[in-house]
Amino acid sequence: MTPDRAMSAEPAMPQSAWPDTPVFTGYAAPVRIESDTYDLEVIGTIPPELDGAYIRNSADHAFPPKYASDLFLNGDGMLHKVRIRNGRADLSTRYVKTEKLLLERAARRALFGAYRNPFTDDPSVSGKDRSTANTSVIFHAGKLLATKEAARPMLIDPDTLDTLGTYDFNGALESETFTAHAKIDPRTGEMVSYGYFTKGVADTNIEIYYIAESGELTRTEQFQAPYPSMVHDFLLSEHYAIFTICPMVCDWERVKKGEAFFHWDDTLPTMVGVVPRAPGGAQSVRWFTAPKPVMETHTFNAWEEGDMLNLEHFITETGWLSQFPDINDADNKEKPPFAERWTIDLASNEGEIAIQRMWGHIGEMPMVDLRYLTRRTRHFWFGTSNPELGPMLPRGPKGPPFTCLGHFDAQTGALDFFYAGPDSSPEEPVFVPRSLDAEEGDGWLLSVVGRRAQNRTDLVILDARDLGAGPVATIKFPCRIHEGFHGIWIPGAALAQR
């Protein structure tokens, strides 16, 4: 798969410079280094029982983009893995070898154009797979997949991080697309996933996939969203798959003209589609309209109590305006997300959604103890900032970086924070239980922390129920890894079983 690196294959065209924009400069600058580093420096003590791999995805442009205005969302998928065992930690960084990356490496320049816009590509790559595979990873039935909602998943070897090709579940995957936020039901081992814009163009078709614990894709169902929009995440309860459709719309005619891929249009309503997971359920999807047009950024969890369906997610009153414009108000400013519980009475025909703010502090990048997904959980973790603990950091390409991680205990109502220190930015946390049968929340919270002034990165390990105590271990990387999106923990036993 390695492209010919001989200089005779070098195209005549010189490589253009990197754009002087916030996406490509300073702490956000592409890293581009594939590496293996053994026995990282550790401050404190890695808990000896911690055995497994933290793996996450990031967007790390391998080549200067065709368009200087390119979004960080359009970077090439770069996987980061920290393998922890016997108190030691090793770091690996590896690009997902997408067709896009291999073609661009062979040409030694960007050939694919703007985010999700095939009309901006070099004609030489017409019809080729545009996937950057840059958003998340999921591990199910012994298979590690790198995911991007605009494309099919890529199969990755979790030991080497080698890319094994595009994965279509032995031909059973119908859609051209597959969400980066598939969920595994811990009661059944089933993975529930979906695709939107399933034919590769903006439309209202959403396809749900049910993938058995064995890895077999057993069922595909379809329903129609009220309008074509970004469906980035969803919610899973015991009996329902729930989709919050937000007015982050895509108009294919605008895409053809080279405009932004999404626009925020809050003249349209936010609507919640409740799909029974039982066979045929997509045919009886029920729609509920939110009282205000808002955006769900990411989800914690969903759970049922009798006929009451509870949806716990981060919600903002604006679209993602740092990335995609407001079509009605160019001066509109992005607002921060807050955690909200939306409750729907499935027995009532009123169709109302009752909304409760869960705690009075902003946040994003939610995490729960995934062994309890689909059930009511007590513990909630998230990225956040807290000006009482330390100053805000300068805006990056995604907005202000987090300075803290937060923990909300729904039983006591207590909020607890880990402040990462001056010039330090934690990223999405991942919860690791102390043991397979530890009680909910008993374990560690792992988070990559950017040491911005040092142009370096750490991984911190915190007691998940005592963030304020600070790290039990800080694993120091000798370099910076690019800021990422989403990651997972794979227990050592699951890696060994493959």
403 near ligand V55, judged by CB under 6 A = no
Burial of 12 (0-12, 13-18, 19+ CB in 10 A): exposed
Nearest to 477 by CA among 54, 163, 24, 132: 54
One of 98, 117, 131, 134 touching ligand V55 (CB under 6 A): 134
- Shortest CB 115 distance to ligand V55, Å: 7
| C-alpha to C-alpha distance for 482 and 31, rounded to whole angstroms | 6
- Shortest CB 290 distance to ligand V55, Å: 19
| C-alpha to C-alpha distance for 381 and 385, rounded to whole angstroms | 13
Q: Which tokens is 4 given? A: 């010919």
- Of 199 and 498, CB closest to ligand V55: 199
- Of 72 and 210, CB closest to ligand V55: 72
318 near ligand V55, judged by CB under 6 A = no
- Shortest CB 448 distance to ligand V55, Å: 16
- Shortest CB 80 distance to ligand V55, Å: 14
- Of 273 and 337, CB closest to ligand V55: 337
- Of 282 and 327, CB closest to ligand V55: 327
Structure letter (DSSP) for residue 134: -
| C-alpha to C-alpha distance for 363 and 105, rounded to whole angstroms | 38
- Shortest CB 181 distance to ligand V55, Å: 9
Which residues 6+ apart lie within 8 Å of 71 measured at CB? 23, 115, 323, 397
- Shortest CB 493 distance to ligand V55, Å: 30
Q: Write b or e for each residue in 406-441: b if 16 or more Cβ atoms lie within 10 A of its Cβ, otherwise e.
A: bbbeeeeeebbbbbbbebbbbbbbbbbbbeeeeebb
One of 93, 98, 131, 135 touching ligand V55 (CB under 6 A): 135
What CA–CA distances, in Å, run from 494 to 52, 497, 498? 8, 5, 7
Q: What is the sign, positive or negative, of the torsion defined by CA atoms of 199, 202, 203, 204?
A: positive
59 near ligand V55, judged by CB under 6 A = yes
- Shortest CB 485 distance to ligand V55, Å: 5
| Binding string, residues 61-100; x marks residues near ligand V55 by CB under 6 A | ------------x---------------------------
| Binding string, residues 138-177; x marks residues near ligand V55 by CB under 6 A | -----------x----------------------------
- Of 59 and 272, CB closest to ligand V55: 59
Which residues 6+ apart lie within 8 Å of 423 measured at CB? 393, 451, 452, 453, 454
CA angle 71, 74, 77 (to 5 degrees): 140
| C-alpha to C-alpha distance for 9 and 7, rounded to whole angstroms | 5
- Of 270 and 310, CB closest to ligand V55: 270
One of 181, 232, 277, 341 touching ligand V55 (CB under 6 A): 232
Nearest to 203 by CA among 233, 174, 226: 226
What is the rounded end-to-end Cα distance, in angstroms, of the chain? 24
| Binding string, residues 241-280; x marks residues near ligand V55 by CB under 6 A | ----------------------------------------
Residue entry with tokens 């909304």: 355
- Of 131 and 424, CB closest to ligand V55: 131
- Shortest CB 57 distance to ligand V55, Å: 8
CB nearest ligand V55: which residue? Answer: 135
- Shortest CB 59 distance to ligand V55, Å: 6
- Shortest CB 299 distance to ligand V55, Å: 12
| C-alpha to C-alpha distance for 230 and 253, rounded to whole angstroms | 16
| C-alpha to C-alpha distance for 316 and 296, rounded to whole angstroms | 7
What CA–CA distances, in Å, run from 169 to 32, 149, 217, 489? 30, 16, 6, 22
CB 85 within 8 A of CB 98: no
- Size of the residue set binding ligand V55 (CB under 6 A): 7
Provide the total of helices (H) and of strands (E) in the chain, helices listed first. 3, 33
- Of 264 and 288, CB closest to ligand V55: 264
One of 314, 382, 408, 485 touching ligand V55 (CB under 6 A): 485
- Of 75 and 450, CB closest to ligand V55: 75
- Shortest CB 203 distance to ligand V55, Å: 17
- Shortest CB 477 distance to ligand V55, Å: 22
Q: Which tokens is 48 given? A: 């000896």
- Of 149 and 190, CB closest to ligand V55: 149
- Of 232 and 341, CB closest to ligand V55: 232
Nearest to 176 by CA among 135, 215, 130: 130
Binding site for ligand V55 (CB under 6 A): 59, 73, 134-135, 149, 232, 485
